[in-house]
Amino acid sequence: MLKRLALSSLAALPLISTQVAAEEVKIGFTAALSGDFAAFGLNIRKGLEIALTELNQTSDTTFSLTSADDRGEAREGVLIAQRFCSDESIDVVMGYSFSSIALAAVPVFDRCKLPVLASAVTSPDLTGASAYFRRNVMTDATQGQTMGRYATEKLGFKRVYILNQQDDYGIGLSSAFSDAAAKNAEIVGQESYLLGTKDFKTLLIKARAAKPDAIFIGGFYSEAAKIAEQARALGIKVQLLGSDGSLNPDLISLGRSAVEGMIAYGMFDPSVSTETTAPFIDAYQSAYGEQPNAWAALGYDAGKTLAAAVTQAKSQGALTRESLNEAFSTIKDIPGVTGPTTFEASGDRVGSLYFLQVKDGAFRLADTQ
């Protein structure tokens, strides 16, 4: 826990740089933890808590967690960032469900030099946005391009229709997908929708008229499930392709038989058990009574990456917000259940994707790219 002088204003925050007391590191965790899209943040936190439990049993540093629900609102996200900055006990910030909220909060963290390690925000606009911001999830640009190539090169689709959320996530993802897919196929149409939309019939009738052989849905599981249900009701039987926002068990519970056969992607597959992943999967199932998904895995790996950064910073001397931030820049190939973690100078991570298909009511591994 970093001991710091009391502050009279946020403007004074950049001057702070004092040492950790009692070998404790306190994490400020923030994400949407309530509402329709709470699953992302809740799963990340579950995975992180598994990592912290393990670390507190084996490490000479104590890791603790305090959570704040941003409710998916940028204004609330900024208020939380200000609160974390001025809280002398917060050493690092983790979590984040929405890129728009992270983008709004980054300038606040810049001012107080508080390092951030996010696990679900993928907007290309966050690449290089701050020297204090990093993420262990791949960007929309990388993910969209990979899915675009996979859909057209590996699966061979020639006429693709795109439906995307009208926000930073959906726009960036669909743009990258379109650019990659257009090299091998025709993009026969594209429509966007607002988060929370429930009636997709008009958009789907347009899609049906374009006669695609695949529809890519660049959005979250809640809308993807509704799109699948309404598409099948309209007699649209083409292949449905989803993004990492669709790779959630709730897609299946909401969409039921309509999402059978749908392909989505992520950075983790619980059906692939290795010496690295098996202990995590077992611990998660024991703690929560369910299999971990990609978001839980990213939260877990974020915890282990933080521990590596803490060890690195301590080896160089005093552990401060600044030295911890510097350590994130120097650690490399930290082992994890989503693969090794290394951060580029931009704060981005390079990795690989699993492609999973819904079969018999569960996600099954289809391919790796």
pLDDT in tens, 92-120: 999 999 999 999 999 999 999 999 999 99
* Same structural domain, 209 and 188: yes
* Same structural domain, 153 and 36: no
Does residue 369 or residue 100 have the better pLDDT?
100
* Same structural domain, 131 and 147: no
* Same structural domain, 36 and 52: yes
Q: Answer yes or no: is pLDDT of 360 > 70.
A: yes
Return the SS3 of 364. Answer: strand
pLDDT band (50, 70, 90) for residue 306: very high
pLDDT band (50, 70, 90) for residue 11: very low
- The answer to whether the beta carbons of residues 124 and 172 sit under 8 Å apart is yes
How many Å apart are CA 74 and CA 264, to the nearest integer? 27
- How many independent structural domains does the chain possess? 2
90 in any annotated domain: yes
Which of 22, 115, 29, 26 lies closest to 60, judged by CA? 22
pLDDT band (50, 70, 90) for residue 19: very low
* Same structural domain, 221 and 188: yes
The mean predicted confidence, pLDDT, of the chain is: 91
pLDDT band (50, 70, 90) for residue 346: very high
Lowest mean pLDDT among 3-7, 122-126, 129-133, 257-261: 3-7
* Same structural domain, 15 and 87: yes
* Same structural domain, 283 and 252: no
Which of 165, 161, 110, 117 lies closest to 140, judged by CA? 165
* Same structural domain, 185 and 234: yes
- The mean pLDDT of 196-205, rounded to a whole number, is 97
CATH number of residue 76's parent domain: 3.40.50.2300
* Same structural domain, 213 and 286: no
131 in any annotated domain: yes
Domain that holds residue 190: 141-266
* Same structural domain, 161 and 259: yes
* Same structural domain, 134 and 14: yes
Q: Answer yes or no: is pLDDT of 291 > 70.
A: yes
Q: Locate all alpha helices (DSSP H) within 257-361, ordered by sequence.
A: 277-288, 294-315, 321-330
What confidence score (pLDDT) does residue 318 get? 86
